[in-house]
Structure formats: C-alpha cells, structure tokens
Amino acid sequence: MNTATFSIYRGDSNGGKFEDYTTEVSEGMVVLDAVHGIQSAQANDLACRWNCKAGKCGSCSAEINGMPRLMCMTRLNSLPLDKPVTIEPIKAFPHVRDLVTDVSWNFAAKMKIKKFKPRPPDAPDGSWRMAQGDIDRVQEFRKCIECFLCQDVCHVLREHNKHEEFIGPRLLVYTAALEMHPLDTEDRLQDLKDAYGIGYCNITKCCTKVCPEDITITDNAIIPLKERVVDEFYDPLKRALKLLRPKPKPENDHV
C-alpha cells in the first residue's frame, strides 16, 4: 500500500494554516476518500461538507492544488502524489472552519430573482406541450448542482467582492434557465441589467472551465442574456422599432 501526503487548511475565521497528514492511498481513490481517511483516523474534528460522493449534490467543493474542484470527483491518479496535495476551502465566501465556507449568500441572492411564471396550460387537464428541441438548452442549465465553484472562480466575486451588485455565474445560469424556459412569461431583463449586474461579467470564461457538470455557462447562458439586455436597452434602432411594433410572442409559443 502506498502513502501520500495531504496539506489541508485548518482554521477558522480568525486564521489558520496548512497541516500535513500522511495516509494510505489505493487504486481508484478520490480526494474525498483521503479526507475521510484522515478524518476517521487522525483528525475527527476536520470540518468538510459532503453528501452524495458521486458528483450529484455539489457539497464537497474545495480548491485542490489551487484548482476549484469537487473532492468526490477528483481521482488521486490525476494528481502528482510525489509532493503534498493541497486542499483548501473555496475563497469567494466567508470562511467558517477548515474546508467549510459560509455560502448562504447564494441562497439569499437567489430569492431576489423573479420566480417562474408559466403561461396558461395548453390542455384542459392543466398540462403543457413543449418540443424536446425547445428545452434542450434549459435542461443543460438545470443540470447545475449548485456547487458554487463558478461563483468561487469568478473574479467579480472573488477579487472585487461585488456580492451586492452582481449575482455571479451560477445565478445567471439560473436566470437563463428561467428566461429561456418555453413556458415562462416573466421579464427579467431590467433586473439583469440593474439588480443582477450582468454588465460586470467580462467573459473570461473561468466559470465554464471549472463547471463539473460541463455546463457551457458563458457561451450558452451569459452571452445570450447579455445580448438580450443590449437589444432591450442599448440598441437605438431596435428601441425605435419596438415603439412602432407590438411585443413579439415568445418564439416557442407555438403548440
């Protein structure tokens, strides 16, 4: 059996430091297994979040060798084990203890986004008709497991602390899922521009790179939303035309 060393950040909001733990490793192990091994044998009070251990709940986000990742989906054989593997908490939110951060801001910010508002049902039994082709994009966004790695890596939140003015990539994806939902009738463009601060995003695509669900956050969600905001508020020709014409029906409103 081989061993490997893990340099884990220990501490709380008052400060902390990296501590090294050496533990046995075997074929197929992921970082979370190593953390659990250390927890049960060497450090019962080592704080970390996890639930499903299968990349579906998004609880065990951390920075592994400096990269924001899920601990449960990071195989040890993908890391160089000849030197210590560093594991530290995500940075865009207040630190609580060890690998745990206070991500409650994400939940509070989500409540500010106008909720789903469907058009009247298409059929007498209260159901709707939608074509699969019209929901593929929305389903991509709804794969989000709310691990907040995209929020962590977004420089607007991480370096500039614009939490008051900007909702971040995760919540822009959430807004995109609502805005592109074929049944939704709500208008969130004004909020995207003002309350959600979409203008802060300057498309560095870091969020897309770290998404464990491979959601094309920037290209498929944020850029189309930016285009809608531009069309609505900044395109003089379109504004003029809009005054002359009634608001078009949503493109998917066809069945």
Partner 1 sequence: MADYQTHEHDVLIIGAGGAGLRAAIEASTAGVKVGLICKSLLGKAHTVMAEGGIAAALANVDDRDNWRVHFSDTMRGGQYVNNWRMAEIHAKEAPDRVRELEAWGAVFDRTPDGRILQRNFGGHKYPRLAHVGDRTGLELIRTLQDHGIHQGIDVHMEHTVVTLLKDGERVVGALAYERERGRFKVFKAKAVVLATGGLGRAYKITSNSWEGTGDGVGLGYDAGAELIDMEFVQFHPTGMVWPPSVVGILVTEGVRGEGGILTNNQGKRFMFDSIPDNYKAQTADNAEEGWRYCQGDKNARRPPELLTRDHVARCIVREIKEGRGSPHGGVFLDIAWIKEKIADSAAHIQRKLPSMYHQFKQLADIDITQEPMEVGPTTHYAMGGIRVDADTQMSNVPGLFAAGECAAGINGANRLGGNSLSDIIVFGKRAGEFAAKYVKEHGAGQVNNDQIDEAVRRSLEPFERGATKGGGAEGPYQVQAELQEMMQDLVGIVRTEDEMQRALDGLGKLWERARKVAVYGHREYNPGWHTAIDLHNLMTVSEAITRSAIERKESRGAHFREDYENKDAAFGKVNTVVSKAADGTMQVRRESIPEMPEHLKQVIEEMK
The residues that touch partner 1, with contacts defined as CB under 8 A, are 12, 26-30, 33, 39-41, 43-59, 73, 75, 96-98, 100, 102-104, 107, 110-111, 115-116, 118, 121, 125-132, 135, 138-139, 142-143, 145-146, 174, 178, 181, 184, 255
Q: How many CB atoms lie within 10 A of CB 146?
A: 19
**Per-residue three-class SS string for 170-199:** HHHHHHHHHHCCCCECCCCHHHHHCCCCHH
Q: How far is the CB of 46 from partner 1 (least distance, A)?
A: 7
The CA distance from 154 to 205, in Å, is 9
Q: Which of 47, 79 has the CB closer to partner 1?
A: 47
* Burial class for 10, CB neighbours closer than 10 Å (0-12, 13-18, 19+): middle
Q: Which of 126, 236 has the CB closer to partner 1?
A: 126
The CA distance from 115 to 118, in Å, is 10
The CA distance from 156 to 199, in Å, is 11
The CA distance from 187 to 194, in Å, is 13
Q: How far is the CB of 59 from partner 1 (least distance, A)?
A: 5
| Alpha helix stretches (DSSP H) within 20-68 | 31-41
Q: How far is the CB of 92 from partner 1 (least distance, A)?
A: 16
Q: How far is the CB of 36 from partner 1 (least distance, A)?
A: 9
Q: How far is the CB of 31 from partner 1 (least distance, A)?
A: 10
Q: Which of 139, 190 has the CB closer to partner 1?
A: 139
Q: Which of 47, 230 has the CB closer to partner 1?
A: 47
Q: Which of 2, 127 has the CB closer to partner 1?
A: 127
